[in-house]
Every structure is written in structure tokens, then in C-alpha cells.
Structure 1
Amino acid sequence: MLHTLEERIIVKRSLADCFAYLRDFSTIEQWDPSVVSANKLSPGPVALGCKYQLELKLFGSQHVTMHYTQLALKEQELLVLQGHGVNFSALDTMSFAALDANTTEINYSAKLEFTGISQGILFLLKPMLNRVGKNAAAGLKQALEVPAAPLPRLQNSIADHLILPAVINFGRRGYFQQPRKSHASRMDGKIVAISGPTAGLGLSAACELARLGATLILIGRDKVRLAHSAKEIMAFSGCAKDRLNFYEADFSLLESTAKVARQISADYPKIDVLINNAGALFNEREVTNEGVERSLAVNFLAPMLLTKILNPSLHKDSRVINVVSGGLYTQGLNISDMQYSEKPFNGSKAYARAKRALLTMSKHMETVATVYNMHPGWAATPGLAKSLPTFNKALRNQLRDGRMGADTMVWLASAPELADYQHVRLWFDRQVHAEAVLPGTASTEQDIASLRQWTSEALSQYL
């Protein structure tokens, strides 16, 4: 039994950008509401014969797997893919035409063939299938068109201060409720430096940024793991090896951080985006040989130092993105005990306090770039599994995967609608959120002044 879906989409974006976004069919997870996830199975650049795997939503919580093969790829003109699932197949065709320099027409068709389904059942299914096609077309149009910059929303502030309505969205539920999930804005020619790119959120962000065309500076503490992550990034994005450059640094040691920052600054006189993503939660207190508690060094002092030394390479249109944590909502600054030496050590609290300090100091980073803070929600990362195994196990069905957790990070790095946004805010799921909600966690003017002085003294010998 055959049924054909046909949609015509007009979008305000150049032909080159539209084709670049859609040539990798796995981006369908960002714009088709019926697709839960999509993965490119063939490593490297998209080419004829490229394989994909999709998980589609059915009724309720049921999912079905489809496998697609790239049958045709004519640059800026045509994409054709053949898909197979249980009892059905699909031939998807997308043709492209430029209506003007900034407007593109996309004609999309999906020829569906069902086996083992009667004509009567297919007749009943047609309205649902047609709705799926229209929803996909609407999602694609939204994905490709550039929206206005988001403004702070009262409903977010209310939810944040009520706590529970905000917290329940920290998991994957919140990600799926986002009205927009696409990354369609190219970053060709942009230089992006990212710390902690060897696993978890950093690796997911690096993969997507490379797919968007960025040249990446990968900063991590293990040369072997950096080389392995480079292979993963190339397999995912299809980028060339010369667009990935890695630097080895131990962020628990400020001298190591300063040394690599100076080397990067010398090698790259212009950096467009700096993502301070590296972070770690330590369950035992340990002081480095530089006299700094490890959690404070990795999660606060190292990103502050890295940004300071790289500042000459940043420019007025650069973006600095600090990855913090939803855990900071539970903690305020403790200026009198920054090194967490006066009370029994709690790794989660130390981590949250360090992230609170980074959030607070983000308004005083002394950089020409615009600074953004984001937290990823609850994401399933190797670090979480190691540091908080009980939490990881209890919420394993609710945790976001790496791409979900990294979504706002990539958006902040690439979104053109943020070009004129100059305010330092905390972002979550592409929306501005409150920085403090519990009593005693907001930073006072005295706290901020003391933190600035303490930080300046702690970093002075490394500058």
C-alpha cells in the first residue's frame, strides 16, 4: 500500500545554508517532531551510500527504528534517501531552489510503502500521516529561519522561584519541550576554543560545532584522549583533520593552565568563541601542589585564568561561554572559606560553590567579549556516573544525553540572533533564568567585592 506526503517550504535563508544543514540527514532529529533521535552511522563526510539510524515516535511511548541510505546528493539541488522499517519503507526526496539571495524553496516528498496493512487501515492512518508530514515541514521552516533574540520571560522566573516546576525540566523532559532545537547557522571561518572536549558535554558540543564548520581548539589534560576525541569529531562531522588542533593542560594546576593559554594566544591572534566547559566533581578534598583545593582550581580559577590570558585574542564580537551547573542554586558564596577547609568536605557543595563563584565573576571577567553562562540540566556524562553514582542510577531514565545537555552551549556559540545581546545572564534551554532562588544564595555587593579581591590575589602570580 502506497501513500505520498508532499510539502513545499519557503524559508528566509540562503540556498547554501539550507543545503549545508540538510545534507547530513541526522539533523532531522532537530526539526521533525516525530524523530526522537537520529545518528549518522557512516563515519566522515556525507556521501552516496551514507547510512543513518532513526528512532521514530509512535503511539504513547512506543518507538520504531528506521535505517536510511543516501541514494543521491547533488550539491545545493537534490537529496534522496531510502528508509526501511518493520513493515514499511520510505523514499525521501528534498529538492532545493534559490528564490533570491536570502530565500530558498524546499520541496519535500516522502513515498511511504506499507506491507501487511489493509487498504482500510491505511485509509484510517492517512490523516495521521499527513499531519506528521505537515509537522515536519513546519519544524523544518522553523529550524532554518533565524528568530528574534529571546527576552527574559516572567514564567521562567516564576518557575525558578517555585523550584519544583523548574527542576522537573532539568531532565530530558525539558529538552523535548523546547520549541526550537536546530543548529542551522554556519560557523565557517570561526575559531572556537573549548576545554574538556574529550567526553560528555564537551565532546558533544565539539562534534556539533565542527559539523557547523568551526575550526576547533581542543584543550584537555590527556593527549591520548584528545587524539581519540578528534577522531570521534571527524567521524561525526566529516570535518578535515586540519580543523582540529589540541593542547594539553591540567586545569587543576594554574601554572599548566597559564602556559597553555599563552601558547594558544600566540598561535591564534583571533578567537571567536571560548567555551569554559572543563569541570570535575571530587568526592575527597585534595590540595594541589600550588596550594589550591582541586574543585576550586578546576571549576573556577582555571576558567578565569584561561579567559584572562586569552583576552588579547578575543574581540568585541567574540563570545565567552561559561558552563556552570544547576547545583549552584543550592549554594551561595563562602568568601571566608573559599578553599573549603573549615568544615567537613562535601564534594557536591564544593563543586556548586565553585560554579557559583564562576557565575558571579562572569560579570567581572575583564574581557572585550560578551560573556554567557549556561547550565546543561541533568545530563548522563561519564563524570556524573563516576562522581554521583547513586544520583546517576536513580535518574538514569530521565537524564539528558550529551547532545541535549550541550544544546544551549552550541546555540550560544553560533546563534546570529544573539549578535547584539550584551547582557551577562544565566541560560538554560535557550532561555534566561534566575541566578539565585534560595535564601542566602544570592551574592551581595560585599560578597562580589571580596570575591574579586580574592580572585585577583589568587591569580596574580600566574599572569
Structure 2
Amino acid sequence: MIRLEEVMTVPRTVQDCYRYLQDFSTAEQWDPGVYRAVKQTPGPVMVGTQFDLLLNSAGRRLPMQYRITRLSPPREIVMQGEAEGLRALDTISLDDAGHGRTRIRYRADFTFTGRVARIEPLLHPWLRRVGRQAVAGLARALTPETQLPGPGLRDRLAHRTLLPAAWSFTERGYLRMTNKGLSHRVDGKTFVITGPTSGLGLATACELARLGARLLLVGRDTARLADAVAHIRDFSGCATTQLEIFEAELSLLSEVERIAPVLQAAAPQLDGLINNAGALFAEHGLTREGQERALAINLLAPWRLMSLLLPQLEAAGGRVINVASGGLYAQALHPQDMQYLDEPYDGSKAYARAKRALVDLTAIAAARVPGVTFHSMHPGWAATPGVAKSLPAFNARLQRWLRDARMGADTIVWLASAPVAAQGSGQFWFDRLPRPTALLPGTDVTPAQRGQLLAFLASLVPSDALLQRLDRPVGTLAQER
């Protein structure tokens, strides 16, 4: 048997640390030796809850199963693990270290069986190194950031040349992140999430529910919303009262107008709006209201929802997170042809142009509405049902390198939950770092284009409250930011 024992002190309360660690599926966030960790037992974590892990082992993925054998909240968690040729007994003890700090003692006893037992002495240094890396990752995950992170020189150069940056859009970029911890509780906070029934929206909802959020889930299909609620509860163990569903067809401004007062009544103070719903269409088509479909769902709906929920967001000092796409890097804004009528239709271009408009609108709002934090982000290349349906060739070619939905949703959850993220209003984010919005010549939004964009939106809803807040000269945006 090999015993590893590490002790750390983190600036978090015992209760916070316990709630983060009892769900051992968070190990994928802090242990670099764990590629994936999934809670297999639905509902709240309790004695008997099982977890499936995929370990990074000498270039291979090794499956391992863990089961909780003892819980003594909030002081101790004991788990037994088993893999081919290996059994483990993990004990996590937590003690109050005073001044809001917690001393964590992590002990792991490894027993090797079969052929692996013959090389046990050789494994000891490797296990000790892996254990120290895991403990260091856990300390980072539980230590609140006090300053916004910034990209290093290598990262900045990569994002000034599109092809190197694009490789980081795969899962390799996510796995290279130093800190993947999502440990900041949001108990008592309320978030609206659009498009929560699959992909990024569902992964975001799962993580925020695990962190204690109350979620107002807006989608177009009641049955799929109900399925999403069941999935979120199984994942997070949250209470039924934390999740509410609202049916709305967000490609129609009339539906946004209808659902907004319902959401206002449900949340007089709103801590976050996550505009995630989006779609890419292969052919040009119009909604019943006469708007090009990609424009309607990817720009008009999030813009109008931001505006209508602005009083509730201001009441709570809330956050808006607009989900965009790395595809916008290849497209400029075309405010003179928002309906995409002047050239042959290209669904990917229409999608990217709408997202670029949304990103720029987010930056304008951040400069003009100081009481609310506005973020836009892109998730990298994630394997979601939407990507598989809209971009089948891209999905097939890059399948082995694509991120899964929880990797793509990481920055969304961090922007919604991390206290430090309130400092970065108006930024465009990728993997928790602020990024440029224009890389190719001619893709940056000019003041004249910005004015045309706002004029177009005003032509649709002249009385829009958010646009009325944006009535200062838009050409001063760079100085204001």
C-alpha cells in the first residue's frame, strides 16, 4: 500500500469547501489527472453516490469508479475507488482555520493488485507528483481571484494570428487552462437562461444549479424544458423550487415582449441574464414577423430581452452574458444589409454577422449602463447538438478534438458566478481571458457602422429602453471603455 497525504489552507469557509468537494465530479475541474468525472447516481450527494472517472494515465484514458462510503458534514468525506489493478481509499478532512479559512487534509491510500503490484515501488514517485498537482489544483479552485486574469504574451500573439488561436478553440485549449475551478456559490441568486434544453445552455444550467442558483429556463418546447429540468436535478441534486420553466419562441419579438413581463414578475431582482439561445440556418428564411431567422434569434431576441429586463438587472446589480461564436472573427458587420438580401445567402456568415453585432452591442451597453455588468464570450469549438445539425461536415472532421458542452460552458458559468468577473464589463471572453473582437483587417466595427446598427434596431422598436440609454455619440465608445 502507498499512502499520500497533503495539507493545505484555503481562504474559504468550511461549509463552502465541503459543498464543493462532496460532489466528486468537480475533480475534473481541479485534478489534472482527471479528464472527466461524472456523477452516476441522480440527485443529491449521499452515502452510496457513485462517480465514473476517466484518468489521464501515461497517454491513455483509464476508467475508475468511486463511491462515497461516509459523509460527516461539513467535516469529512470518505470515498472508495477502484480501477483495473488499483483500489483507493480517499479521506478528505476539513477544519476551521479561523478568519474564514479552512485547513484541508487530503489522504489517499492506494493498493495495487495483479501485475501492477509488481511495479509498486516504481509508482510511488509518480503518484506523489500527481497527488501534489491535484492538491495544488484544488487550492487554486478554492482560492478566490482578486484580480481579473489577463492573457500572456504568447496567448496575445496567438490571438492576433487567427490560425494558432483556432487550435486553442479545441479541447486542448480548455485542458491547458491553469484554473478550471467553479466553486463560488450563488445561493439565493436568480438567473434567466435561454436555450437551456441541450448543449451549452443545459451544461450552464447544470453547473449554476449545483452552485445554488435559482434558474428561470426559457425555451420553445415545454416537453424538452421538462426533460432539461429532470436532467439538471439529477446532475446537481438541487431542489425543485430552484428551477422554473417558461415557454417562448424567441425568434419572434412579439414572444419576447410577451414573456418578459412574466420573467419580471418571477424575478423583481435579477442577478443574471444568459442569452444562449441561437441557431444557424442553411437557407435564407423569414420569421412570421418578416425578420431573417439568424438575425432574429441571434441578435434581435437577446437585444430586446436585455432591454426589457434591464430594470430587474439594475435592481440587483446583475450581469448579462451574451454567448457568441469564434466564427465572428471571419466576418465584418454589414449594417446596410441586416436581412442578408444583397448577396447569396450563407448560413455561417449570417450567423457570424449577427453574433458580431451582438458583441458590439454588448460593449456599447457596458459603456452606457454602469449599474449592470455586460459580458460577451465565445465557447470555442464545442460538440453540441446544434453544431452537429447545422455544421455536420465541420462536426465530423473535428469530432475527436471538439470540446464537450461542459468545457464550452465553463467561461459562461465563471462569468456568472465569480465575484472578480464583475470587474470586466464590456469585454469579450474566451477561456476566462479577455480577447480581441477583431483579428482580420476590415472586421472591426467602425463608429459609422455602429450608428447604423443602432438606427436599424431603433427602426424595429423606437421606444426601446436600452437604445434610449445609448443616445450619446457612439463614436466615443473606445474612450469610454
The question of a shared fold, defined as TM-score above 0.5 by the shorter chain, is answered with yes
Residue in 1 that maps onto 2:382: 379
Residue in 1 that maps onto 2:200: 201
Residue in 1 that maps onto 2:348: 348
Distance (Å, rounded) in 1 between the aligned partners of 2:96 and 2:179: 24
Distance (Å, rounded) in 2 between the aligned partners of 1:139 and 1:152: 19
Query: Does the CA contact (< 8 Å) of 2:149 and 2:432 recur in 1?
Result: no
CA apart distance, 1:12: 1.0
**Structure 1 segments unaligned to the other structure (5+ residues):** none
CA apart distance, 1:459: 2.7
Distance (Å, rounded) in 1 between the aligned partners of 2:455 and 2:121: 72
User: Are the structure 2 counterparts of residues 117 and 6 from structure 1 closer, same or farther at C-alpha, using a change threshold of 3 Å?
Assistant: farther
Match of 2:373 among 350, 370, 385: 370
Distance (Å, rounded) in 1 between the aligned partners of 2:276 and 2:117: 54
Q: Secondary structure of the residue that 1:4 maps to in structure 2?
A: strand
Residue in 2 that maps onto 1:146: 144
Distance (Å, rounded) in 2 between the aligned partners of 1:47 and 1:301: 44
Residue in 2 that maps onto 1:460: 462
Match of 2:133 among 127, 132, 135: 135
Deviations for 1:58-94, whole angstroms, at most 9, x for unmatched residues? 112x111111111001111110011111111001100
**Between Structure 1 and Structure 2, how many residues are aligned?**
460
Residue in 1 that maps onto 2:412: 409
Deviations for 1:352-406, whole angstroms, at most 9, x for unmatched residues? 0000000111123365311001000000000000000000000000100010000
Q: Which range moves more in the overlay, 130-139 or 34-43?
A: 130-139
Distance (Å, rounded) in 1 between the aligned partners of 2:309 and 2:184: 25
Deviations for 1:83-134, whole angstroms, at most 9, x for unmatched residues? 1111110011001100114110111111111012476621111100111111
Match of 2:112 among 105, 111, 114: 114
Residue in 2 that maps onto 1:450: 452
Deviations for 1:219-250, whole angstroms, at most 9, x for unmatched residues? 10111100100000000000011110111111
Distance (Å, rounded) in 1 between the aligned partners of 2:32 and 2:107: 17
Residue in 2 that maps onto 1:215: 214
Give the letter aligned to residue 433 of structure 1. Answer: R
Give the letter aligned to residue 320 of structure 1. Answer: V
Distance (Å, rounded) in 2 between the aligned partners of 1:119 and 1:68: 20
Identity %: 47
Distance (Å, rounded) in 1 between the aligned partners of 2:433 and 2:96: 33
**Structure 2 segments unaligned to the other structure (5+ residues):** 466-481
Residue in 2 that maps onto 1:390: 393
Distance (Å, rounded) in 1 between the aligned partners of 2:433 and 2:318: 20
CA apart distance, 1:154: 5.5
Q: TM-score, normalised by structure 1?
A: 0.97
Residue in 1 that maps onto 2:305: 306
Give the letter aligned to residue 380 of structure 2. Answer: G
Query: Does the CA contact (< 8 Å) of 2:336 and 2:452 recur in 1?
Result: no
User: Are the structure 2 counterparts of residues 243 and 342 from structure 1 closer, same or farther at C-alpha, using a change threshold of 3 Å?
Assistant: same
The 5 A counterparts of 1:41-60 are 41-60=40-59
Instruction: Quote the RMSD (CA, aligned, Å).
Output: 1.4
Give the letter aligned to residue 358 of structure 1. Answer: L
Q: TM-score, normalised by structure 2?
A: 0.93
Residue in 1 that maps onto 2:357: 357
CA apart distance, 1:181: 0.3
CA apart distance, 1:182: 0.6
Query: Does the CA contact (< 8 Å) of 2:55 and 2:61 recur in 1?
Result: yes
CA apart distance, 1:51: 0.7
Deviations for 1:117-163, whole angstroms, at most 9, x for unmatched residues? 47662111110011111111111111100123225435233211111
Q: Secondary structure of the residue that 2:402 maps to in structure 1?
A: coil
Give the letter aligned to residue 191 of structure 1. Answer: T
Residue in 1 that maps onto 2:327: 327
Distance (Å, rounded) in 2 between the aligned partners of 1:146 and 1:450: 41
Distance (Å, rounded) in 1 between the aligned partners of 2:116 and 2:449: 71
CA apart distance, 1:422: 4.6
Deviations for 1:400-428, whole angstroms, at most 9, x for unmatched residues? 00100000000000001223x15301100
